[in-house]
Amino acid sequence: MSLPFIPKRIVVTAYPKMPEAFTEAEAMSVFLKERGMDAPVGSLYDEDLRRRVKQGEFDMLIAVGGDGSVLRAGHLCAPSKVPILGVNLGRLGFLIQIDRKEWHEYFDRLFKGEAWIENRMMLHAEHFRAGEKIGTSIALNEVVVGRGQNLRPVRLTAYVDSRELTSYVADGLIAATATGSTAYALAAGGPILPPELRNILLVPIAPHLSVDRAVVLSEGVTVGIKIKSENAILSVDGQPPTPLMEDDHVNVTAADVTAQFVRFGNPGYFYRNITMHINENSSGFPR
């Protein structure tokens, strides 16, 4: 656990498609102003606010919404090393420790020095065509090479540090972080990894007569994915997909930047979160 963290320049952001998020964000801003701190409120999509974050004007960003809002905040804040405090208004909240009914209590704890910073690995993806790099991106959850709208599976070959690992005929292949192990990778049958790990997790999606097990790779490896069919796409953290052509390559490594999250208590919060969500999802089934 790192040293106590007490911010001095806070910005509060809300998910624009969730009206109640702005209501809650405004209440947080008022709460902070009453304690002598100017805390502007804005949308995660507001270009002026994004520019101010990138320029290092703030030392903490509060993201009000769900896991999707925290993902967007991670992409924005990681390069500028701005820690994120998520407040959950959504349904799941694997990335978020604080519920909408609890933020008053946690804000008080924040200014008492009870918070700490958790660092989570991100991925750096590079897209190559005919030996030329045509795109790069970073991901907090996962990089996915999968089939597009065509229902046929894709053919892929995976490499680890330039050595062939295996070939897949599948709906796709997920390269995930430990953070992403509780997202799409989990839905595809992958294991849950502790958030502090810096391993890359490979999980095939609906493999057909191919390796059907997830693989946890050593820290620091480079994953290469070669596309062997024409109907593939590249998707990073669920963003709009990029079409891929046969013989394109996608390389995935640990990114130089990390996502920083404001946490409270001991790191066991992660396992309590998982247990809570598993219990919630299983409560509707007969025992």
Domain that holds residue 278: 10-114+265-282
Regarding whether 110 and 36 lie in a shared domain, the answer is: yes
Distance CA 174, CA 6 (A): 36
pTM of the model: 0.92
DSSP for 45-57, please give it.
T-HHHHHHHHTT-
Strand pairing partners for 85? Answer: 62
Regarding whether 134 and 54 lie in a shared domain, the answer is: no
Distance CA 205, CA 156 (A): 12
CB-CB contact of 260 with 82 (8 Å): yes
Regarding whether 126 and 250 lie in a shared domain, the answer is: yes
Distance CA 65, CA 95 (A): 11
Extract the residue ranges of the chain whose pLDDT is less than 70: 1-3, 92, 278-287
32-53 CB burial, b ≥16 within 10 A, e <16: beeeeeebbbbbbeeeebbebb
Q: Residue 20 falls within a domain, yes or no? A: yes
Q: Residue 246 falls within a domain, yes or no? A: yes
Question: Domain holding 274: CATH number?
Answer: 3.40.50.10330
The pLDDT value recorded for residue 276 is 74
Regarding whether 185 and 100 lie in a shared domain, the answer is: no
Regarding whether 250 and 182 lie in a shared domain, the answer is: yes
The pLDDT value recorded for residue 281 is 61
Distance CA 222, CA 213 (A): 19
Estimate the crossing angle of helix 19-33 against helix 103-111, to 10 degrees.
Answer: 40
Active-site position among 38, 67, 108, 171: 67
Regarding whether 135 and 224 lie in a shared domain, the answer is: yes
List pLDDT tens digits, range 72-89. 999 999 999 999 999 999
Regarding whether 154 and 109 lie in a shared domain, the answer is: no
Regarding whether 94 and 154 lie in a shared domain, the answer is: no
Judge whether 99 counts as a catalytic residue. no
Q: Residue 27, SS3?
A: helix
Regarding whether 228 and 137 lie in a shared domain, the answer is: yes
Q: Residue 98 falls within a domain, yes or no? A: yes
Tell me which residue has tokens 């596309």: 227
The pLDDT value recorded for residue 204 is 98
Regarding whether 205 and 82 lie in a shared domain, the answer is: no
- In total, how many domains does the chain have? 2
Tell me which residue has tokens 């995976």: 158
Cβ contacts of residue 279 below 8 Å, gap of 6+?
A: none
List pLDDT tens digits, range 161-205. 999 999 999 999 999 999 999 999 999 999 999 999 999 999 999
Regarding whether 151 and 43 lie in a shared domain, the answer is: no
